[in-house]
């Protein structure tokens, strides 16, 4: 077993707007695992990020600040490589599968306590996935079977699907609950009708090598599959029909497509490859390639979007955690003062650059002090009234009393304007608000 492998967390507030750049920038690097990172998943509430490793551990991170994950649990129950993991959509469970042919089920609310060990597989467990209603758990195995468990009945085994002729490498449920898809090493993708006792209704044969990744779009209109022949296939699930029509073959990868993930808002598709790259496609623009991330230095094993579609996590076979975000996005309150001081972690204007400096140097003294709203993600005010921060405070005060704009601002072009929402309510002769005493980190200031 090799030592020291890499986990990537790529953060991106993908709000692609006219005139606003969408290139990701490196924010942070980190390493915790001591062997390949094989899988990654977010909890449905966005609080946790889990990563499985060939060091036989599952790492659980607190991602209250998504670009600064904090390791809070190391699950050590597996007795061989952890190859796959998934959270249940209701947030109750985390399931992992390992090369010792076992599935481990953890109780999230009970400090990730182990509550079940499922031993039906007779070879490596390569993929696990919960149904959208959290009632079922599916698992694909190197014994060529897909197992379906009833979560509501103590994870009792209720179906063993035996159609595959080789390793079942990936399983996925459609969000509408109608279909279960399974990709195998015999180049096939099997589609089962969940509502008809998991009857096989389609065998998709377009792949020309192992099918390692399958994923449905959040609206259940598309199915994407990835194979070892460098292709990503996109199928249109015809409305009011059970037809799966191939509409796109994405050929940008130059090696094995290992992982596929749709952003929950349905706008983007990300793929992780053995060519050490992550490809991001614009679903709304006929799956046009919009970015290729080249920072990984080894195979990208898994990619996953956060529930709010603002962040993308990925893991590879090297030794570091990388954190990316979009560059600052200027809008109607980004000005010379706020840009020089730092920015809000979740600000929809600047994308969160220098958030740590913001909360200590800017948020504590000004935005948390008057009773008008608070920064989302601020370590002082803990997101109280976060939604009111940018409108009543930043727009009316920081842009007006300080004046000036960011050099290169794509909204104002660096020139003051009187057409923005904050420009008219106050006289230019009025004095800025008095500065309060410096706030103590971790305490709420004001009110």
Give 62-131 as a DSSP string: E-SSTTS-EEEEEE---SS-EEEEEE-TTSSEEEEEETTS-EEEEEGGGTTEEEEEE---SS-EEEEEE-
Q: Are residues 350 and 240 in the same domain?
A: no
**What average pLDDT does this structure show over 164-188?**
97
pLDDT at residue 371, as a whole number:
30
3-class DSSP state of 376: coil
Q: Are 378 and 344 in contact (CB under 8 A)?
A: yes
pLDDT exceeds cutoff 90 at 38? yes
Mean pLDDT is lowest, of 89-103, 163-177, 249-263, 417-431, for: 417-431
Both 264 and 205 in one domain: the answer is yes
Q: Say if 337 falls within a structural domain.
A: yes
- Each residue's pLDDT tens digit, 107-134: 999 999 999 999 999 999 999 999 999 9
Do 321 and 6 contact (CB within 8 A), yes or no? yes
Which of 15-29, 253-267, 278-292, 302-316 shows the lowest per-residue confidence on average (mean pLDDT)?
15-29
Residue 3 clears pLDDT 60, i.e. is over it:
no
Cβ atoms of 189 and 216 closer than 8 Å? no
pLDDT score at 199: 97
Where does the pLDDT of residue 66 fall: very low under 50, low under 70, confident under 90, or very high at 90 and above?
confident
> CA 441, CA 447: separation in Å to the nearest integer?
17
Q: Are residues 262 and 177 in the same domain?
A: yes
For residue 387, give the DSSP letter.
G
First-to-final CA distance of the chain = 56
pLDDT of the residue at 283: 95
Long-range Cβ contacts of 278-282 (<8 Å, 24+ apart): 278/8, 278/10, 278/303, 278/312, 278/314, 279/250, 279/252, 279/253, 280/14, 280/312, 281/250, 282/16
In a domain, 133, yes or no: yes
Query: Is the per-residue pLDDT at 373 higher than 70?
Result: no
pLDDT at 22 over 80: no
More confident residue, 70 or 13: 70
Q: List pLDDT tens digits, range 198-224.
A: 999 999 999 999 999 999 999 999 999
Contacts 24+ apart (CB under 8 A), 275-280: 275/230, 276/300, 276/316, 277/253, 278/8, 278/10, 278/303, 278/312, 278/314, 279/250, 279/252, 279/253, 280/14, 280/312
Nearest to 368 by CA among 419, 442, 316, 422: 442
Q: How confident is the model at residue 68 (pLDDT cuts 50, 70, 90)?
A: confident
Q: Which of 325, 349, 365 is the last residue of a domain?
A: 325
- For residue 96, CA distances in Å to 46, 71, 101, 117, 298 come to 18, 18, 11, 10, 23
Residue with tokens 């990984």: 296
* Per-residue pLDDT at 321: 72
pLDDT band at 6 (very low <50, low <70, confident <90, very high): very low
Q: Report the mean per-residue pLDDT for the chain.
A: 75
Highest mean pLDDT: which range of 305-319, 327-341, 371-385: 305-319
In the numeric block, which tokens belong to residue 324?
């990316």
Q: Is 209 left (phi over 0), alpha (psi -120 to 50) or beta?
A: beta
As a whole number of angstroms, the distance between CA 231 and CA 208 comes to: 9
Rounded average pLDDT over 354-382: 34
| Residue 189 Cα distances to 53, 98, 178, 221, 387, angstroms | 26, 22, 16, 17, 44
| Secondary structure (H, E, C), 7-52 | EEEEECCCCCCCCCCCCCEEEEEECCCCCCEEEEEECCCCCEEEEE
**Furthest CA-CA distance within the chain:** 78
What is the sign, positive or negative, of the torsion defined by CA atoms of 198, 224, 62, 54? Answer: positive
Q: Kindly state whether residue 1 falls inside one of the protein's structural domains.
A: no
Top-confidence range, 81-95, 390-404, 414-428:
81-95
Query: Does residue 428 sit in helix, strand or coil?
Result: coil
145 and 198 both lie in a single domain: yes
In a domain, 2, yes or no: no
Task: Tell me: do 50 and 32 sit in the same domain.
Answer: yes
Q: What is the pLDDT of residue 242?
A: 72
Shared domain check, 199 and 346: no
Domain co-membership, 277 together with 337: no
Q: Of the given ranges (16-25, 121-130, 169-178), which has the lowest mean pLDDT?
A: 16-25
Residue numbers of the domain that contains 422: 330-447
Determine phi and psi for 196, rounding to 5 degrees.
-120, 50
Relative to beta strand 222-227, strand 103-107 is unpaired
Q: Are residues 379 and 400 in the same domain?
A: yes
Query: Can you give the CATH number for the domain in which 155 is found?
Result: 2.130.10.10
Q: With a cut of 90, say whether residue 309 has pLDDT above it.
A: no
Q: What is the value of pTM for the model shown?
A: 0.74
pLDDT tens digit sequence for 40-57:
999 999 999 999 999 999
Confidence band, pLDDT 50/70/90 cuts, at residue 24: low
- Minimum mean pLDDT among 79-88, 95-104, 211-220, 334-343: which range? 334-343
Q: Would you say how long the chain is, in residues?
A: 447
Q: Report if residue 371 sits inside a domain.
A: yes
Q: How many domains does the chain have?
A: 2
- Per the CB < 8 A criterion, the answer to whether 35 and 41 are in contact is no
């Amino acid at each position: 077993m090799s030592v020291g492998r890499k986990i990537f967390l790529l953060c991106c507030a993908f709000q692609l707007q006219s005139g606003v750049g969408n290139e990701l920038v490196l924010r942070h690097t980190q390493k915790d695992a001591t062997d390949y990172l094989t899988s990654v998943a977010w909890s449905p509430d966005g609080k946790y990020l889990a990563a499985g490793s060939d060091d036989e551990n599952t790492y659980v991170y607190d991602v209250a600040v998504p670009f600064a994950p904090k390791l809070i649990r190391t699950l050590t129950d597996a007795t061989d490589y952890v190859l796959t993991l998934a959270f249940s959509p209701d947030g109750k469970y985390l399931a992992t599968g390992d090369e010792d042919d076992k599935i481990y089920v953890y109780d999230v609310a009970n400090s990730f306590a182990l509550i079940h060990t499922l031993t039906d597989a007779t070879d490596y467990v390569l993929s696990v996935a919960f149904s959208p209603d959290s009632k079922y758990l599916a698992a694909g195995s190197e014994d060529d079977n897909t197992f379906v468990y009833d979560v509501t009945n103590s994870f009792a085994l209720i179906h063993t699907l035996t159609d595959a002729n080789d390793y079942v490498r990936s399983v996925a449920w459609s969000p509408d609950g109608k279909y279960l898809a399974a990709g195998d090493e015999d180049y096939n993708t099997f589609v089962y009708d969940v509502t008809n006792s998991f009857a096989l209704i389609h065998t998709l044969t377009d792949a020309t090598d192992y099918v390692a990744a399958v994923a449905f779009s959040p609206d259940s209109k598309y199915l994407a599959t990835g194979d070892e022949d460098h292709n990503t296939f996109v199928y249109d699930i015809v409305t009011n029909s059970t037809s799966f029509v191939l509409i796109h073959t994405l050929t940008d990868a130059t090696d094995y497509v290992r992982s596929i993930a749709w952003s929950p808002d349905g706008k983007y598709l990300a793929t992780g490859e053995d060519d050490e790259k992550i490809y991001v496609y614009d679903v709304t623009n006929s799956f046009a390639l919009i970015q290729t991330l080249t920072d990984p230095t080894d195979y990208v094993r898994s990619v996953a979007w956060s529930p709010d579609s603002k962040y993308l996590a990925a893991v590879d076979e090297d030794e570091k955690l990388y954190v990316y975000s979009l560059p600052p996005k200027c809008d109607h309150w980004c000005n010379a003062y706020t840009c020089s001081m730092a920015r809000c972690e979740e600000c929809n204007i600047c994308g969160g650059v220098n958030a740590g400096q913001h909360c200590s140097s800017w948020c504590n003294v000004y935005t948390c002090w008057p009773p008008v709203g608070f920064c989302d993600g601020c370590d002082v005010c803990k997101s109280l009234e976060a939604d009111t921060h940018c409108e009543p405070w930043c727009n009316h005060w920081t842009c007006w009393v300080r004046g000036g704009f960011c050099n290169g601002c794509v909204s104002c072009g660096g020139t003051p304007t009187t057409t923005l929402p904050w420009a008219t309510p106050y006289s230019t002769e009025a004095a800025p608000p008095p500065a309060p005493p410096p706030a103590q980190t971790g305490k709420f200031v004001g009110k």
